Structure 1
């Protein structure tokens, strides 16, 4: 815990330094955003489709099929979209950061950067953490949109509802207060995934075995942090609203 707090403090200090590695930050944004896009696309479509298929029979028993678009959209935007997308990103992004920085630690590339007066935390950690903090909310918005699209497609399997009517019913049930807290917590999801992935890779031990351990523990702890942050965010939102 003490090592992580020290690592977190060093990351905060280097974040506000004057010489920011903007080109590396853009490269990491591309790596995190563009390379994760196909996986998030499939996840978003399936998430909306499965939720619609599972909910339709229950609502049909109560004669409330007209509530299906609003219920699915509210569920995806408020909870399922942010959490599932963050967990997918924790598995892909967190493991990638842990393995990449872990291999650099084992091969002593990080030590070489320190000897050559290059700030490894500024170049390697800050850029990755900020890129994850920025890109994961964007990926969540993209997954939310595809989730609602997948819900409309699934609703037409056993019925017939127009695209315009479905989206009108979906967004009629959503207020800004549903959207804003869900978006805010995704920034914390991204920061937690980036910090934990970089910390596990940066503090990897010696030997190639430690690279696998760093990648595995980065995924596990990042996923756990996402669940904990979501629990705290839901409690705060419930108290304020």
Structure 2
């Protein structure tokens, strides 16, 4: 019953954040601030992780297909499939659940603890619209982050392949182009949009409805990360079953 009640509260929160909107002049500033906090400040860590994970995927693939009968271009093919289909949209989203999700939960939770949310309500401001809606809009730019992850993952694989001597640049590029299905990019972006919605709302829910003091803010951030990651993994399975089978 507790889980059902929490799910109901979650969907009520989503509906409430679209009601009684904050003035556009104020909302615009909140959106730009959240884009800076959630998206711009994540580019560095995303770029670093993506480049080196792409290299690791290429090295592991190369070491497992060392049979001379297997063409070398399959290294580029396997790297492209791994990065575009799973690593960039899914595993990067789990990493972002730790960075972005924890930030959202702790920032909103701190406002709850210090009674700033109560002050917003007293002033007649819809606190859910004021706090959650800008994060939802900001994370609509999340596909930009995933695009960077895709590009740098493939480039990292190329660097590892060429400089590690696993295949030539031409073989790697041939593998990237081999049997390319454009819908796979669309599939990755569909997952990205769904995960962006989860990243915006689940951490906000845990921060907004938390109770207690400063210690509970940390606990709420941990719980937020766990549930966000679980939902991303479950939805990844559901969307893959729906879109690729």
Output the TM-score relative to the length of structure 1.
0.91
Counterpart in 1 of 2:112? 105
Query: 1:159 & 1:230 partners in 2: Cα distance?
Result: 31
Cα distance in structure 2, aligned partners of 1:71 and 1:13:
46
227, 238, 241: which one pairs with 1:232? 238
Map of 1:169 onto structure 2: 175
Q: Does residue 79 in structure 1 map to residue 95 in structure 2?
A: no
Gaps of 5+ in 1: none
Q: CA deviation at 1:38?
A: 1.1
Determine if contact 1:82/1:186 at 8 Å carries over to the other structure.
yes
Aligned to 2:229: 223
**Residue 74 of structure 1 contacts residue 174 of structure 1 at CA under 8 Å; is this kept in 2?**
no
Which region of structure 1 is more displaced relative to structure 2, 143-152 or 117-126?
A: 117-126
Normalised TM-score (structure 2): 0.90
Where in structure 2 are the equivalents of 1:152-163 lying within 5 Å? 152-156=158-162, 157-159=164-166, 161-162=168-169
Matched-pair contact (CA < 8 Å) for 1:10–1:121: yes
In the alignment of these two chains, the number of paired residues is: 235
What's the C-alpha RMSD, in Å, of the aligned pairs? 1.7
Instruction: Kindly provide the CA deviation profile for residues 86-130 of structure 1, in whole angstroms up to 9, marking residues without a partner as x.
Output: 011100000000000000000000000111122211111111122
Select between 17-26 and 201-210 the one with higher mean Cα deviation: 17-26
Q: List structure 1 segments (4+ residues) > 4 angstroms apart after TM superposition.
A: none
Instruction: Assess, with a 3 A threshold, how the Cα gap between structure 1 residues 41 and 131 changes in structure 2: closer, same or farther.
Output: same
- Are positions 1:125 and 2:132 aligned together? yes
Residues 12, 227 of structure 1: alpha-carbon distance in 2 compared, 3 angstrom cutoff: farther
Residue 13 of structure 2 is aligned to residue 7 of structure 1: yes
Q: CA deviation at 1:182?
A: 1.0
Match of 1:149 in 2: 155
Q: Which moved more, 1:56-65 or 1:148-157?
A: 56-65
2:72–2:167 Cα contact (<8 Å) kept:
no
Tell me which residue corresponds to 1:70.
Answer: 77
Structure 2: give runs of 5+ residues left out of the alignment. Answer: 1-6
